[in-house]
Structure 1
Amino acid sequence: MRELFDTVLDRLLTLPGWAVYAAVGGLAAVENVFPPVPADVAVGLGAFLSGHGTVLATMVFVVTWVANVTSATAVYVAGRTLGRSFFTGRLGRRLLRPRHLETIERLYEGYGSWGIFFSRFIPAARAVVPPFAGIANLSAPRTIIPLAAASAIWYGSLTVLVASAAGQIEDVVRLVSQLNWAVLAVGLIAIAVVVLLWRRHRHSQGRNSPGKGR
């Protein structure tokens, strides 16, 4: 990971302030389309450069958050308008069978906003959440509000931690890595709790429904 940080930092150091903002925002936006893009690395280094007078930490956060939420919203809209027709077509049915699509819809309907919120903290799932929320026809408020809140918490925490505690590039590497692992653990635990509560609720509804116990 250190080599990646050094490479990105070398590029950012050659750029004027406005170009650093553009690069960080661009990577944060592309992350929703191509997950391997090192958006966290760019944001962490952008916050690191704020301590050297190149950019402002507040602007790094604002640019990152706006770019990430805008991109995720666009992917959600694409999933809602184009995704269903694609996956119900011949090629789409081969990639995702109808019963799997129905399962995804039930999951989004059951877990709703909380599932989206916590899933956005899991690196591997972060880019998958918005398009499938659209494909599952989840409403815009139930999708975008938790998505934007999770993005604000994640990038805000990353920016504040690096800007206030990172004196050397090694500190940036350590903080980004530790924050990723910590948030991943919390996100997985929270998702497990949501799933457990939802299943208990469904089980309780099933026992209390008319006709049961006769």
Structure 2
Amino acid sequence: MTEILLELLDKGGYLGIFLLMAAENIFPPIPSEVIMGAAGVLVARGQMTFMTLWIVATAGTVAGNLFWFWLGVRWSEETLKKVIDRWGRWLTFEWDEFLKARDIFRKYGDWIVFLLRFSPILRTIVSLPAGLARMKLWRFVLFTALGSAIWNGILIFGGKAISGLIDRYETLAGYGIVAFVLIGVAIYIYRVMTWEPVAAFENKDD
């Protein structure tokens, strides 16, 4: 399993990494930790260079977040609520999570875009209130890129550091990757099945 994943990433090359990292910030079940960790192993093997991988992965992350930022710029909060009520189930995106990100953004300002890159849930959602607030594009790109660069760098170095262990315990590592992915999928399915629109919560309170 480990070698299959590494071979797929190697064949996809840097373009594949860019697209995967962009998609990871739009569609929840794609785990950046697995992508970057495996890519770090390829760096250790000399099949990719750290600097190119780091830049491409960070660019992909920024591109994915620009999608949400653009929606925030284009749509009103009322429109966003309607969209989240209709499609939030499949994105495992709840309205109260948006409100939390919005309130944090309003309280702390632009810098929170950088800090929330290290939050597993809010790091993408904060792009919406940033767009709604008409945050300057260059500042959004800068803070997103800085936070993403640090996080991606940590993941790449982590994959590179354990590459020897992966080569030595390939079967065990493969089971670990499968388990990690299955846990992520299970969490996604659980959130899809238990997701309720805001109206449902409001009715429960009545």
**In which range does the TM-score fall when normalised by the shorter chain?**
0.5 to 0.7
1:50-129 to 2 correspondences below 5 Å = 50-84=43-77, 86-87=79-80, 105-129=102-126
Opposite residue 68 of structure 2, the aligned amino acid is V
Compared with structure 1, are the counterparts of its residues 28 and 89 closer, same or farther at alpha carbon in structure 2 (3 Å cutoff)?
A: closer
Larger Rg: 1
Q: How many residues align?
A: 162
C-alpha distance in 2 between matches for 1:33 and 1:88? 17
Instruction: Tell me by how many angstroms 1:90 deviates.
Output: 9.8
Give the C-alpha shift of residue 50 in structure 1: 1.8
1:39 Cα deviation after fit: 1.9
Which SS does the other structure have where 2:121 is aligned?
helix
Unaligned stretches of 5+ residues in structure 1: 1-5, 178-214
RMSD of aligned C-alpha atoms? 3.4
TM-score computed with the length of structure 2 as normaliser: 0.63
Residue segments in structure 2 that go unaligned for 5+ positions in a row:
86-93, 178-206
Which of 6, 11, 21 aligns to 1:28? It is 21
- The 5-angstrom pairing of residues 150-165 of structure 1 reads 150-164=147-161
- How far apart in 2 are the matches of 1:167 and 1:144? 35
Output the CA distance in 2 between the equivalents of 1:107 and 1:145.
19
1:57–1:163 Cα contact (<8 Å) kept: no
Residues 39, 159 of structure 2: 8 Å contact kept = no
Question: What is the distance in 2 between the residues matched to 1:89 and 1:132?
Answer: 15
Q: Report the equivalent of 1:42.
A: 35
Q: How much identity, in percent, do the aligned residues show?
A: 26
Larger RCO of the pair (alpha carbons < 8 Å, separation 6+) = 2
Give the AA of the match of 2:41: F
Query: Any conservation in 2 of the 1:35–1:124 contact (CA below 8 Å)?
Result: no
